[in-house]
Each structure stands twice: as C-alpha cells, then as structure tokens.
Amino acid sequence: MSDSLLNAVEQAVKGYQDPYLGMDLFAANAISKLEVHGDEVLLEVNLKYPSEHLKHGIGQMLKMAIENIDEVDQATVNVDWQVESHKAHENLANIKNVKNIVAVASGKGGVGKSTTSVNLALALAKDGARVGILDADIYGPSLAMLLGVADGTRPETVNEKFFKPVMAQGLQTMSMAYMITESTPLVWRGPMVSGALQQLIMQTVWDDLDYLVVDMPPGTGDIQLTLSQKIPVSASVVVTTPQDIALLDAKKGIEMFNKVNIPVLGIVENMSIHICGNCGHVEHIFGEGGAQKIAQEFGTEILGALPLSKYIREQSDSGLPVVAHDEEGEVAVMYRNTARNLAARLSVLKNVQVPNIEISHD
C-alpha cells in the first residue's frame, strides 16, 4: 500500500476539527491507532474529556470522511474517552482517587457561582464522568438546597473519622450544610472557618472521581488561599457577570490563582443576556464585551455565556437544577457546552502525558 493513501487518510482525519478542543485529533494527541490494510482502514480515537454523548457522532463523521477516499473500501472507527489525572494526591489519602480538582470561583458574591458550579458538575456527569462537588462556602452553604437534599441529611461515617459523600442527582457531594441546620448561623472567626474547611477536605472519602468541582466562597481572602494551598487543585474557572464591578473583582480572582500557580481554564460569563419571555427580545442588561476583554488581557478564554433566566432561578430554588431537570433543553445545552469546553481545555494542559500513537500500513 502506498504512502500516498496513508497520507490521504491522515489528511481526512485532520479535516475534522474538534469543536471543544479547537484543533484536529492529531494535534490533540487523541489518535491512538491508525492502520491501513489494503483498502481497509482502522482508526482508534481516545479523547481525554467526557464524550459519551459525542463519540458515536464523531465516529460516524470520521468514518464517512475516510470512506470518501477512492482507494478505501471500508473504514472501522472506534471512538472512546478516558479522563487523565493532572495531579498526584499521594499525600492526601482521601483524594488519591480524584483525577482532577477544579475550583470554581468569583471575585464577589451574587454572580451565580454556586448555581454555575452545580450545573457544570451535573453536565460533566451527563457526559459520562464520575463527578463530585465540594461546597467550600462555610458561611453560606447552598449545595444541599440546590440539589434538593433534605434538611437534616447527615453523611455516613467511616471508622468514626471520615465522611462518605452524600449522593445527590448522581453527584458525590459534601457541604457544611450537612453538619448544621438551615437556620443555624455560623458566627465564627477566620481560624475556625479555615479549620472546618480543612476538615471537610481531609475527612471526606471521595470514590474514584474524574472531577471534583470545588464551589469556592466568594472573594480572594484567607479562606480562598487556605483552600488553594491545602488542595492540589488542577485548574480553576472564574464566574462573573458583565457588570463593571463584577469584572473588576473577576480580575482579582484570576490574579489570585496566578499567584498560587493554579491555571485558569477560562471565564464563565453568567447573566450575559436577558431574553424576554413574552416577545423574545434579547438585551444585555448588565453590559457586554467586558469578559472578553479580561480573557484577552489574561490570555484565557470565555468557556461559556449563560443567560439571565427565570427558569434557571426557579429550577435552582426547587432543588432540581436545569441540567438535571431537562438535559436536552436550551439552557441545559449551554451549561453542557460550557462544561465540555472546561473539560477539553483541562485535558490539553501541558502536564498531560502524550500517548503512544501507532500508525502503520502494509
């Protein structure tokens, strides 16, 4: 078989640009095998981000592209995915089986960070990943309410020392809300809060996670630094709204992660637009273009832009977030695309090992 056919097959495969990776599959080190035997082709693709609902369509497109080559009679294309680990957790036994820890932060409160964190975690799980979420907001935990966990729910203990995560909507979850009641205020000073947070981190036994999403408390103070230093965070996401004051605080959040050497995967612009429920008119109530300017300034990108929506608020208040309520709905798809952008960008960070690629012909 001539080298020209092999080259033609390679070019056909390169013609597919992964919409979330923003590159072809060779550039993304996602081709694990390419073989040409006479007029038959075998292609194996191994993506590094959750792709359970994408892999069939990707395989069909690649198969069609290869079989459009005149010399090819049949192409067999196998597409699979496996999330790789970005951090070693040998020093923290309870999270040694957590492959990636993603901190979701905001410079200020009121930008929808917790709602975004929960829906991103659900979106990753909908694409096949094993996902946990840690509510790190000790003063104002909201995870239990967002996921519909009943007040008074307590985690099981292991050896009277460790906590089992509470399962909710298919996620492994942990929150200070499981230790107190909804009406109990925490009138604590900083050291007490830091100590409680460290207990949640060190004493929760997560079970074989691809991603642990950490819903950070708002701000850039002592608690945020403690969290960044005590957990081997793989990467971070900053949530903001288009308002000037929120964008100013988002810059501070990015700078905080830069100072502690945690990569920022990108920015999620929440409440980006408002769509009138009566006439469909689209309006940028809080401004526009600011998040893009920040992304350019700091060399990152917009992972997603989410609308100001009564539907999101209603579903969050009901304990059934939009991704759990209707995973194929318009707003849920926005969250799922944002989560895929997050996972894909994380998968190509420099510390991911490059797989061996087999390319052969006879």
pLDDT tens per residue, range 143-195: 999 999 988 889 998 888 889 999 999 999 999 888 876 666 555 666 676 77
Contact 322, 311 (CB under 8 A): yes
**Domain architecture of the chain: domains with CATH:** 3-82+351-361 (3.30.300.130), 93-325 (3.40.50.300)
Per-residue pLDDT in tens (0 to 9) along the chain, 362 residues: 467 889 999 999 999 999 999 999 999 999 999 999 989 999 999 999 999 999 999 999 999 999 999 999 999 999 999 999 886 555 666 788 899 999 998 877 778 899 999 999 999 999 999 999 999 887 778 899 999 998 888 999 888 888 999 999 999 999 988 887 666 655 566 667 677 777 887 789 999 999 999 998 877 777 777 777 778 889 999 998 877 777 777 888 888 888 888 899 999 988 877 766 667 666 666 656 667 878 788 888 899 988 888 888 889 888 899 999 999 998 999 999 999 999 999 998 854 443 444 444 55
pLDDT, residue 135, reads 92
Closest listed residue to residue 50, CA positions, set 124, 132, 133: 124
109 secondary structure, DSSP code: S
pLDDT, residue 183, reads 60
pLDDT, residue 191, reads 64
Q: Supply the pTM of this predicted model.
A: 0.89
DSSP structure string for 189-219: -HHHHHHHHHHHHHTB---SEEEEEEEPPSS
Closest listed residue to residue 204, CA positions, set 139, 307, 132, 147: 132
